[in-house]
Amino acid sequence: AHLDRIAAVDGSVNAFLHVDRETTLAQARGVDERRAAGEELGPLAGVPIAHKDVFTTADMPTTAGSKILEGWRPPYDATVTARLRQAGLVILGKTNMDEFAMGSSTENSAYVTSRNPWDLERVPGGSSGGSSAAVAAYEAPLSTGTDTGGSIRQPAAVTGIVGMKPTYGGSSRYGVIAFASSLDTPGPFARNVLDAALLHEAFSGHDVMDSTSVDQAVPPVVEAARRADVNGLRVGVVKEFAGEGYEAGVSARFNEAVELLEALGAKVVEVSCPNFSYALPAYYLIAPSECSSNLARFDAMRYGLRVGDDGSRSAEEVMALTRAEGFGPEVKRRIMLGTYALSSGYYDAYYGKAQQVRTLIKRDFEAAFEQVDVLVSPTTPTTAFPIGERADDPVAMYLADLCTIPANLTGNAAISVPCGLSDGLPVGLQIMAPVLGDDRVYRVGAAVER
């Protein structure tokens, strides 16, 4: 049914980069056989899922939305892919994304721009915009994404679905094509909080293949989503994420969500996190710095595209030609920014300073969580913007992640749940919890999702 739905609507939504009916049906038959053989499969066995094209898949190509990986077939599964395969989920295909997860709209994809099912002239958010569009358009009941600065929560918010960034290290990065390694976090998309929790639980947990994986039990997220109560919980409204720059309809829906929390028995207080205002500029030094290092591996020798290798050129020339042709403008901008910020002479002033800001933000979170159990804010300052509106204005594009980035810099758990519409477009409520407090955001999210 989902393959038929994809065939019917994906021509206008453009959520997928790769769909392969036969491979999907073969996987589904495999799950039936395992079940028939008496194997105990998990609660999501047989449920179809779409994977962001940043997770390696042994039976499907993986491009990270880049020309430089066009046609690459990975020899292995990412841990997230492998665990979900083992749990009996069936892969529908690979979803569109901003190139190497750099962007907030999928307009930086080298292949296609995905469209928001609520209004096809608007973006579905990004970088995991194919995954959010697929779930919002009922092409898939579940999907995966990665959140480095907001790339799960922001697309979830603007397409009216649930998107969760787990605690950093709570989900494995093994086989996830790297953007910024100290920030990248795989997480689930679903149409309700309980579904997201079930998916979260199915792929999370310690992985020896990822050196930054947290060696602790997965927080009880499914139990928390089922509990769905906020009675007696202390909720902090982040003072800095309100006012100027927030669309009126976004602020109105956010305020209603806060009133609902109070009506359900939560104690709501205003909390100041003064350094959150510096999170965005610090992120745009740290993330490009890490990407400039990570993307050095695309050297025309190891994977994918190779340009100008006709015997007349040196390896360096082939490398330069390949990277010039294979990377898009945003990726090049970030590599240049990052290389500059890391260069001797500028390192202390830029990268070093940004890391210090990161510590200040961590202290803001710690101080806040001495007073409250969770923090809330709008997920994004505006609803989905029109395709093209911010395409030539990187700074306007970067603002989409204003509220989501603090949790990335510190590794905290954070979710976006739908909290109503503004002018017919979805608004998201962000709920943030301490590191390894993932269950709290599911508990609160399930109580207030709309």
Per the annotation, the verdict on 172 as an active-site residue is: no
Q: Which of residues 145-164 bind ligand GLN (CB under 6 A)?
A: 147-151
- Nearer residue to ligand GLN within complex by CB, 68 or 318: 68
| Centroid of chain to Cα 389 | 22
- Nearer residue to ligand GLN within complex by CB, 127 or 410: 127
What is the residue whose two structure tokens read 């492998």?
82
In the sheet with 234-238, reading across from the earlier edge strand, the strands are 16-19, 90-95, 48-52, 142-147, 185-190, 162-165, 413-422, 425-433, 374-378, 234-238, 267-271
Angle formed at CA 420 by CA 415 and CA 423, multiple of 5 degrees? 125
Q: Which of residues 251-280 bind ligand GLN (CB under 6 A)?
A: none
Interaction between residue 287 and ligand GLN (CB under 6 A): yes
- Nearer residue to ligand GLN within complex by CB, 47 or 285: 285
Neighbours of 25 (CB within 10 A): 12
Q: How far apart are CA 147 and CA 162, in angstroms?
A: 13
Distant-in-sequence, close-in-space partners of 77: CB < 8 Å, separation ≥ 6: 56, 57, 58, 85, 175
The token pair at 31 is 């799950």
Minimum CB separation of residue 150 from ligand GLN in Å reads 5
Interaction between residue 403 and ligand GLN (CB under 6 A): no
Interaction between residue 81 and ligand GLN (CB under 6 A): no
Express the helix, strand and coil content of the chain in percent, nearest 5 each: 40, 15, 40
Interaction between residue 127 and ligand GLN (CB under 6 A): yes
The token pair at 250 is 């976004």
- Nearer residue to ligand GLN within complex by CB, 147 or 201: 147
> Nearest CA to 62 among 100, 29, 26?
100
Per the annotation, the verdict on 127 as an active-site residue is: yes
* Total residues in contact with ligand GLN, by rule CB under 6 A: 13
Task: Give the interface segment with ligand GLN, choosing from 131-139, 142-150, 233-241, 259-267 (CB under 6 A).
Answer: 142-150
Minimum CB separation of residue 165 from ligand GLN in Å reads 9
- Nearer residue to ligand GLN within complex by CB, 220 or 394: 394
Catalytic residue among 127, 128, 131, 213: 127
Task: Give the interface segment with ligand GLN, choosing from 67-75, 99-107, 135-143, 168-176 (CB under 6 A).
Answer: 99-107
Catalytic residue among 66, 132, 143, 151: 151
Minimum CB separation of residue 187 from ligand GLN in Å reads 10
Q: How far apart are CA 277 and CA 282, in angstroms?
A: 10
Interaction between residue 290 and ligand GLN (CB under 6 A): no
Per the annotation, the verdict on 94 as an active-site residue is: no
Minimum CB separation of residue 51 from ligand GLN in Å reads 15
Site string for ligand GLN, 162-201 (x = CB under 6 A): -----------------x----------------------
Q: Dmax over Cα atoms in the chain, in whole Å? A: 73
Angle formed at CA 285 by CA 284 and CA 287, multiple of 5 degrees? 70
- What is the binding site for ligand GLN (CB under 6 A)? 101-104, 127, 147-151, 179, 287, 401
Which residue numbers are catalytic? 52, 127, 151
